[in-house]
């Protein structure tokens, strides 16, 4: 992450590149989360008819148009921090209930989880490029992680996690693409202490 | 009966009543309804336990109801219950999960057919009670054996109605268990995937959903448990799973070895699973357990029989050019005293060999017979030498390269060309022979007598030959050449060859054809030499800069197979056997595989020899033969195809004669053939012409045939001369002479006799061609003369009618009837006409005429004139006096007077006759038109008179007009018939 940040400082070209990279990562995450959803629906055929996509697990309000750019980015960063946590929990629960996954599903699942982490950092870089504090301290809601789930409930919950990730990836893609690139200023050379949650 | 009998009887009845009353009381006591009935359920096993007291009956009836719908879930009669602590106990397993709905249990006592009262219902509440109003599905996370039946139930939330229950994608038919609960059953379930089978219940409006994930699989099944030791202390047991349980995660199989739990291992069907034990126990029990069952395997052995060494560590090598020493270490010090056997796998360039080594605590191995300057890759594995169990794992691989060494001596030979140049040639050293990268070849040559010195030249490592021109050999006839290969390690031993100079060796030695096999040429020779052999072969047709190959053979060899990757089919090779000197002992030639000739026979020519065609051709060049010529085939190219004329065996047959050809054009093809077939063929054409002798012969033959024909005709004519004469030269009838004809020659009076009139009957309706000449016989004439003295004659106007006769009718037409001449009347034959001129008096004289007096002969030249009648005495007429015809004056003979009717006669050609219609009305013209006749002297008219036609005598029949030629033909045919009759 340090290497990733080092090239964002100072140069105007890098400032523009920071946002462009964030957009690209969001697009990539959206594509990958969509693929993961499709793969999951194919495996669990019942699930598409059971759960609608409007139930939210992430307790972050959507970045409405009334918010300024910085707040939008904070919303996105917070939401993706929760998504990251949800993905980790979903992977752990699945492996516990169903055994260690193998194959394409496992690879894609891991790829989405890693991409979320990368996007969180990149959004932080964008926020820093806008002279804002780079660190967001996420508040986690433990109620998002239900315990004592049956396997059936766990499947439903994992699907909701995937839906949530896909929703926020789509949102991030739209928000980041809408950001005016000239607003991004050079970021000061500072070291982030974010994500101390781990 | 005694008096006391009624009293005794009364007692007996009373006692009986007492007994039965006691018995009845006892029965009543035993069939009392069970009291204190309690029901408990185990939802994991779906079992319910029922206990009661207050009844000592030997049997009981149990009924289990679903109280909401008052359905009987189970009923059994006459069961025996276990008694424990004064309570009767009984257990039952429900097919449905106990959460599905409440169950009500009632029991009654039974003694035979007698039953007591039902106990009060004991209820096991389900999850469909109002207190639990949520949407539920049971069982949750169930695990079932593959092939078993599964029953599930969906408990709807309050106020919902059932929509569907699906097992995977299969829609199931539900059975109502209670007001909110529905059950479904699936039979013979197949194994599920690792994700389980989703069984989902939805309400009618699909607003809510409940479900479960069902895992269907098998109990564990293991095989091949074997425990071994690696460190001579602990034990490691391995086994295989015989089948996939389809259960993972929480439901995975768990193992214990001698009741110690084994850590979880990753499992694949192809891998062994293992579990370690800290000490060698000698006997092991492996137990595998999953939710569907357990499986136990056992193994036992002594440790020394189960040693499987760990792989060697720290592999290293000491390397030289030809050898290497491998060294390694062991993880466990206990191996120092362990007798080991090891395998060293040695690989180089894709090839691998395994070399065995053995020893106590083996820690090194010496690898011999390696090759210099070569890369090797080795690894080692070991096993216990005594009571070998199995090989341990391979060590990590080690790569090394052997050192370089001096090259091997090159294989040197010589090559001499026809231009007297010689070459030292040597085979390139292979990587195995060069022992390192070659730097150069050094060639030294000197005269055989020189022991040292000479000239030396170094050439590059890729050079294979060095020319030794006469200028470089100082005119020597023989030189000794030595070749040395060099690399970084040094120079190879020298290789020497003696080269005769002055061109190829022409020594006459035995030469034969080499037998070709699939592998090459199989050669055998009787000579034995004690200095080895060299078999050399080269392209027989190569003249300059020819590549040469050779093969060195050991001393005493008498046979060899010459094989080369450079052998080409259709190429002739010369093979020479050398030994001890540069002079060959024996030579062979042959083809590894013959082909059909590629060329054609040269100089094919064809020439005509009388009626034959001689084909000749030249010797086929060796280049185009591509095999041994076996002969030639000669073909004739005809239009429809090619015909084989001859098969000439033998290479020396180079001519062929095609015999008996007629004139025309011929195309010949000559094809040489080998064992493999024919060439494409050379073609030559020739056009055969008739010779002059033939022409002369044909002319002579034609002439001879003509002469023979004429001779035959002549002969036939001679033999049939009478007939011929009758047919072509009939005798002229001799006139009847009433008077003496011996009188002197005088003018012939041709006036008609007064008594012999000729009446011309005019037939106007008939044209002049249809006038009919009526022949009047003499007798009739005589009779007519006697009767009335007039003869009526129908005049026939034919081409044969003489001018005199024609004039007469014309005059008659003018005068009606005319008198005939007296002289004619005298003869009685005055109607004889002569239409020709007798050109030869002798030939026309009848035999009767021969004896005539000479006075009858014409007084003038011009031939016979039979009609010339001498004028009777007194009736002399002057010559030139005109006849009745006014134009008769033209008929006066310039040479003599008298009748000259025959002086102008017509051709008897029918055509001519028809083309010349006779005009009676114009005698003058007729006279002029009558050309002089050179035809037959026969008179058709006279013939008619001489041989009267029978038809002419038929009265009333109209005479058919006849031309002169027709009349002549008729006469000729008649004569032929008469002659034939004669």
Contact by Cβ (8 Å): B272, B238 = yes
pLDDT digits (tens, 9 = 90+) for B838-856: 444 333 434 344 334 333 3
Q: How far apart are CA B775 and CA B767, in angstroms?
A: 20
Contact by Cβ (8 Å): A86, A116 = no
Q: How far apart are CA B324 and CA B369, in angstroms?
A: 9
Which chain A residue shows the shortest CA-CA distance from B192?
A: A98
Q: How far apart are CA B525 and CA B513, in angstroms?
A: 12
How close A164 comes to chain B (CA, Å)? 20
Average pLDDT in the B677-705 region? 86
Closest by Cβ to B194, choosing from A46, A98, A152? A98
* Contact residues, chain A, for B245 at CB < 8 Å: none
- Predicted confidence at residue A133, as pLDDT, reads 63
* Contact residues, chain A, for B202 at CB < 8 Å: 49-50
Closest by Cβ to A150, choosing from B140, B169, B252? B140
How close B393 comes to chain A (CA, Å)? 28
How close A149 comes to chain B (CA, Å)? 10
- Predicted confidence at residue B765, as pLDDT, reads 45
Least reliable range by pLDDT among A123-132, A178-187, B86-95: A178-187
Contact A151 B196 (CB under 8 A): yes
Closest by Cβ to A99, choosing from B200, B209, B252? B252
Question: Radius of gyration over alpha carbons of chain A, in Å?
Answer: 17
- Residue A194 confidence class, pLDDT cut points 50, 70, 90: very low
- Substitution target in B213, B245, B251, B264 with the highest count of A β-carbons within 10 Å is B213
Enumerate chain A positions whose Cβ falls within 8 A of a Cβ in B: 43-46, 49-50, 95-100, 150-152, 155
Contact B196 A50 (CB under 8 A): no
Q: Compute the CA torsion angle B416, B417, B421, B422 (nearest 10 deg).
A: -20
Which chain B residue shows the shortest CA-CA distance from A99?
A: B249
Residue B877, pLDDT > 50, answer: no
Contact A45 B248 (CB under 8 A): no
- Residue A140 confidence class, pLDDT cut points 50, 70, 90: low
Contact A50 B195 (CB under 8 A): no
pLDDT digits (tens, 9 = 90+) for B41-55: 999 899 999 999 877
**B749 vs B235, which has greater pLDDT?**
B235
Residue A180, pLDDT > 60, answer: yes
Q: B15: Cβ–Cβ under 8 A, 6 or more apart, which residues?
A: none
* A44 phi and psi angles, rounded to 5 deg: -110, 85
- Predicted confidence at residue B975, as pLDDT, reads 53
Sign of the alpha-carbon dihedral angle for B325, B330, B336, B342:
negative
Describe the crossing of helices B721-728 and B692-719 by its angle, rounded to 10 degrees.
80
3-state secondary structure of B671: strand
Please state whether beta strands B605-609 and B612-616 pair in parallel, antiparallel, or not at all (unpaired): antiparallel
* Contact residues, chain A, for B212 at CB < 8 Å: 150-152
- Residue B175 confidence class, pLDDT cut points 50, 70, 90: very high
How close B277 comes to chain A (CA, Å)? 26
Contact B249 A95 (CB under 8 A): yes
Average pLDDT in the B803-816 region? 40
Residue B467, pLDDT > 90, answer: no
How close A155 comes to chain B (CA, Å)? 9
Identify the H or E element spanning B203.
strand B197-203
Contact A150 B196 (CB under 8 A): no
Q: How far apart are CA B753 and CA B790, in angstroms?
A: 10
Least reliable range by pLDDT among B13-17, B53-57, B356-360, B522-526: B13-17
Residue B790, pLDDT > 90, answer: no
Least reliable range by pLDDT among A192-196, B115-119, B526-530: A192-196
Q: B199: Cβ–Cβ under 8 A, 6 or more apart, which residues?
A: B137, B152, B165, B166, B167, B168, B184, B211, B212, B213, B214
Which chain A residue shows the shortest CA-CA distance from B253?
A: A99
Average pLDDT in the A157-172 region? 93
* Contact residues, chain B, for A43 at CB < 8 Å: 195
* Contact residues, chain B, for A95 at CB < 8 Å: 249
Q: How far apart are CA B81 and CA B91, in angstroms?
A: 9
Residue ranges of alpha helices (H) inside B845-909 are 847-850
Terminal-to-terminal C-alpha distance of chain B = 187
Enumerate chain B positions whose Cβ falls within 8 A of a Cβ in A: 137, 140-141, 166, 168-169, 194-196, 198, 200, 202, 206, 209, 211-213, 248-250, 252, 266
Tell me how crowded residue B875 is: count the other CB atoms within 10 A of its CB. 12
Closest by Cβ to A46, choosing from B140, B141, B166? B166
Residue B362: closest CA among B393, B341, B388, B392? B341
Which chain A residue shows the shortest CA-CA distance from B200?
A: A46
- Residue B783 confidence class, pLDDT cut points 50, 70, 90: very low
- Predicted confidence at residue B492, as pLDDT, reads 95
Give the length of chain A: 198
- Predicted confidence at residue B28, as pLDDT, reads 54
- Predicted confidence at residue B952, as pLDDT, reads 39
Q: How far apart are CA B771 and CA B765, in angstroms?
A: 10
- Predicted confidence at residue B352, as pLDDT, reads 87
Supply the ipTM of this predicted assembly.
0.81
Contact B194 A99 (CB under 8 A): yes
* Contact residues, chain A, for B266 at CB < 8 Å: 100
Is B485 exposed, middle or buried (CB count within 10 Å of its CB: 0-12, 13-18, 19+)?
A: buried
Size of interface A-B (CB pairs under 8 A): 49
How close A197 comes to chain B (CA, Å)? 29
- Predicted confidence at residue B479, as pLDDT, reads 85
Q: B704: Cβ–Cβ under 8 A, 6 or more apart, which residues?
A: none
Q: How far apart are CA A84 and CA A64, in angstroms?
A: 22
* Contact residues, chain A, for B195 at CB < 8 Å: 43-44, 98
- Predicted confidence at residue B744, as pLDDT, reads 53
Residue B859, pLDDT > 50, answer: no
Residue B626: closest CA among B678, B695, B668? B678
- Residue B652 confidence class, pLDDT cut points 50, 70, 90: confident
Residue B36, pLDDT > 50, answer: yes
Contact by Cβ (8 Å): B283, B299 = yes
Average pLDDT in the A24-51 region? 90
Token pair 């917070």 is found at: A78
* Contact residues, chain B, for A50 at CB < 8 Å: 200, 202, 209
Q: How far apart are CA B150 and CA B140, in angstroms?
A: 12
Which chain B residue shows the shortest CA-CA distance from A43?
A: B195
**The sheet that has B150-155: what strands, in order across it?**
B136-138, B150-155, B181-186, B175-176
Q: How many helices (H) and strands (E) does chain B have?
A: 14, 59
Q: Give Cα B810 to chain centroid, integer Å.
A: 101
* Contact residues, chain A, for B211 at CB < 8 Å: 46, 152
Residue B758, pLDDT > 70, answer: no
Average pLDDT, chain B: 77
Contact A152 B249 (CB under 8 A): no
Contact B212 A150 (CB under 8 A): yes
Question: Radius of gyration over alpha carbons of chain B, in Å?
Answer: 76
Residue B912: closest CA among B970, B960, B965, B837? B965
Share of chain B above pLDDT 70, in %: 69
Residue B702, pLDDT > 80, answer: yes
- Predicted confidence at residue B13, as pLDDT, reads 66
pLDDT digits (tens, 9 = 90+) for B273-304: 889 999 999 999 999 999 999 999 999 999 99
Please state whether beta strands B324-329 and B283-290 pair in parallel, antiparallel, or not at all (unpaired): unpaired
- Furthest CA-CA distance within chain A: 53
* Contact residues, chain A, for B137 at CB < 8 Å: 152
Residue B424 tokens read as 């030292």
* Contact residues, chain A, for B248 at CB < 8 Å: 98-100
Residue B309, pLDDT > 90, answer: yes
Contact A98 B249 (CB under 8 A): yes
* Contact residues, chain B, for A155 at CB < 8 Å: 198, 213
Residue B171, pLDDT > 90, answer: yes
Average pLDDT in the B136-140 region? 93
- Predicted confidence at residue A61, as pLDDT, reads 84
Q: Does residue B139 have a cis peptide bond before it, meaning omega lies within 30 degrees of 0? A: yes
Residue B412, pLDDT > 60, answer: yes
* Contact residues, chain B, for A45 at CB < 8 Å: 168-169, 198
- Predicted confidence at residue B403, as pLDDT, reads 95
Q: How far apart are CA A134 and CA A180, in angstroms?
A: 19
Which chain B residue shows the shortest CA-CA distance from A95?
A: B249
Contact by Cβ (8 Å): B974, B944 = no
pTM surpassing 0.80? no
3-state secondary structure of B784: helix
- Predicted confidence at residue B6, as pLDDT, reads 60
């Amino acid at each position: 992450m340090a290497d990733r940040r080092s090239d964002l400082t100072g140069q105007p070209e890098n400032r523009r590149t920071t946002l462009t990279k964030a957009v690209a990562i969001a697009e990539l995450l959206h594509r990958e989360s969509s693929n993961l959803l499709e793969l999951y629906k194919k495996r669990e055929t019942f699930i598409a008819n059971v759960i609608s996509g409007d139930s939210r697990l992430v307790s972050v309000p959507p970045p409405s148009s009334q918010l300024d750019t910085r707040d939008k980015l904070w919303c996105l960063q917070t939401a993706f921090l929760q998504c990251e946590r949800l993905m980790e929990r979903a992977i752990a629960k699945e492996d516990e209930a169903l055994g260690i996954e193998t194959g394409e599903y496992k690879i894609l699942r891991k790829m989405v989880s890693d991409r979320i982490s990368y996007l969180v950092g990149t959004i932080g870089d964008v926020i820093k490029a806008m002279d804002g504090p780079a660190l967001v301290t996420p508040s986690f809601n433990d109620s998002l992680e239900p315990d004592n789930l049956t396997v059936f409930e766990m499947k439903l919950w994992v699907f909701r996690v995937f839906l949530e990730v896909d929703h926020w990836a789509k949102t991030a893609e739209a928000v980041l693409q809408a950001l005016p690139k000239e607003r991004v200023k050079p970021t000061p050379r500072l070291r982030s202490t974010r994500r101390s949650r781990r | 009966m005694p008096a006391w009998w009624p009293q005794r009887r009364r007692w007996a009845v009373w006692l009986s009543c007492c007994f039965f009353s006691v018995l009845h009381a006892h029965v009543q006591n035993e069939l009392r309804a069970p009291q204190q009935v309690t029901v408990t359920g185990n939802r994991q096993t779906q079992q319910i336990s029922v206990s009661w007291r207050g009844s000592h009956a030997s049997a009981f009836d149990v009924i289990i109801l679903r109280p909401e719908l008052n359905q009987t879930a189970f009923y059994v009669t006459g069961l025996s219950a276990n008694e424990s602590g004064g309570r009767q106990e009984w257990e039952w397993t429900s097919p449905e999960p106990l959460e599905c709905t409440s169950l009500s249990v009632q029991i009654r006592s039974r003694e035979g057919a007698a039953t007591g009262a039902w106990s009060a219902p004991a209820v096991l509440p389900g999850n469909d009670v109002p207190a639990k109003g949520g949407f539920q599905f049971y069982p949750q996370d169930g695990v079932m054996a593959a092939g078993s039946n599964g029953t599930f139930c969906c408990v709807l939330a309050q106020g919902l109605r059932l929509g569907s229950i699906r097992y995977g994608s299969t829609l199931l038919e539900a059975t109502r268990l209670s007001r909110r609960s529905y059950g479904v059953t699936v039979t013979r379930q197949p194994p599920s995937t690792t994700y389980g089978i989703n069984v989902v219940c939805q309400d009618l409006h699909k607003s809510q959903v409940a479900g479960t994930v069902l895992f269907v699989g098998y109990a564990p099944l293991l095989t091949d448990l074997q425990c071994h030791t690696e460190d001579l202390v602990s034990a490691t047991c391995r086994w295989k799973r015989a089948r996939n349980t389809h259960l993972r995660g929480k439901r995975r199989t768990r193992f214990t070895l001698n009741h110690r739990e084994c850590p979880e291992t990753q499992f694949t069907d192809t891998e062994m699973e293992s579990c370690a034990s800290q000490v060698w126990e000698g006997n092991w029990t492996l137990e595998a357990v999953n939710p569907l069952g357990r499986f136990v395997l056992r193994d036992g052995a002594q440790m020394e029989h189960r040693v499987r060494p760990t792989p060697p560590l720290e592999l290293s090598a000491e390397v030289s050019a030809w050898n290497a020493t491998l060294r390694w270490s062991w993880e466990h010090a206990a191996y120092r005293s362990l007798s080991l056997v090891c395998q060293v796998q040695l690989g180089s360039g894709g090839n691998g060999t395994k070399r065995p080594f053995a020893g106590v605590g083996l820690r090194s191995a010496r690898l011999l017979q390696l090759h210099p300057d070569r890369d090797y890759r080795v690894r080692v594995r070991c096993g216990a030498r005594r009571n070998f169990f199995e090989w341990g794992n391979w060590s990590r691989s080690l790569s090394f390269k052997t050192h370089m060494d001096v090259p091997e001596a090159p294989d040197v030979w010589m090559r001499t060309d026809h231009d007297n140049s010689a070459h030292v040639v040597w085979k390139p050293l292979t990587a195995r022979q060069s022992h390192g990268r070659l730097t150069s070849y050094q060639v030294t040559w000197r005269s055989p007598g020189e022991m040292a010195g000479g000239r030396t030249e170094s050439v590059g490592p890729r050079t294979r030959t060095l020319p030794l021109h006469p200028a470089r050999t100082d005119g020597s006839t023989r030189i000794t050449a030595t070749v040395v290969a060099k690399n970084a390690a040094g120079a190879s031993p020298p290789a020497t060859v003696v080269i005769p100079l002055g061109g190829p060796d022409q020594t006459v030695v035995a030469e034969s054809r080499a037998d070709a096999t699939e592998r090459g040429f199989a050669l055998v020779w009787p000579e034995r030499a004690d200095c080895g052999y060299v078999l050399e072969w080269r392209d027989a047709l190569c003249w300059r800069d020819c590549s040469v190959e050779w093969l060195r053979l050991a001393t005493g060899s008498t046979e060899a197979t010459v094989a080369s990757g450079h052998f080409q089919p259709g190429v002739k090779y010369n093979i020479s056997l050398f030994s001890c000197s540069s002079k060959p002992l024996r030579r062979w030639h042959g083809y590894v595989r013959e082909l059909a000739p590629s060329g054609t026979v040269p100089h094919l020519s064809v020439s005509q020899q009388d009626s034959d065609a001689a084909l000749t051709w030249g010797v086929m060049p060796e280049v185009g033969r591509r095999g041994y010529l076996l002969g030639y085939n000669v073909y004739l190219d005809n239009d429809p195809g090619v015909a084989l004329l001859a098969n000439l065996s033998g290479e020396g047959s180079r001519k062929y004669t095609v015999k008996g050809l007629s004139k025309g054009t011929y195309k010949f093809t000559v094809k040489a053939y080998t064992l493999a077939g024919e060439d494409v063929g050379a073609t030559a054409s020739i056009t055969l012409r008739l010779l002059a002798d033939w022409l002369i012969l044909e002319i002579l033959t034609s002439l001879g045939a003509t002469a023979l024909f004429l001779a035959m005709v002549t002969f036939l004519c001679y033999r049939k001369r009478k007939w011929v004469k009758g047919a072509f030269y009939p005798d002229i009838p001799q006139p009847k002479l009433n008077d003496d004809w011996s009188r002197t020659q005088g003018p012939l009076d041709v006036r008609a006799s007064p008594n012999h009139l000729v009446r011309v009957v005019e037939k106007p309706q008939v044209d002049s061609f249809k006038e009919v000449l009526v022949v009047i016989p003499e007798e009739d004439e005589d009779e007519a003369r006697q009767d009335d003295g007039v003869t009526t004659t129908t005049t026939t106007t034919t081409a044969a009618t003489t001018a005199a006769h024609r004039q007469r009718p014309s005059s008659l037409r003018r005068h009606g009837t005319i008198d005939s001449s007296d002289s004619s009347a005298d003869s009685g034959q005055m109607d004889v006409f002569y239409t020709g001129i007798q050109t030869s008096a002798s030939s026309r004289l009848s035999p009767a005429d021969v004896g005539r007096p000479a006075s009858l002969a014409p007084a003038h030249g011009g031939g016979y004139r039979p009609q010339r009648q001498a004028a009777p005495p007194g009736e002399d007429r002057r010559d030139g006096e005109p006849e009745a015809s006014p134009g008769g004056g033209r008929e006066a003979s310039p040479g003599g007077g008298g009748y000259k009717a025959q002086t102008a006669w017509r051709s008897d050609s029918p055509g001519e006759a028809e083309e010349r219609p006779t005009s009676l009305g114009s005698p003058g013209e007729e006279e002029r038109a009558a050309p002089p006749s050179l035809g037959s002297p026969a008179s058709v008219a006279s013939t008619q008179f001489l041989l009267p036609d029978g038809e002419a005598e038929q009265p009333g029949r109209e005479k058919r007009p006849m031309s002169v030629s027709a009349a002549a033909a008729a006469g000729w045919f008649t004569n032929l018939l008469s002659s034939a009759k004669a």
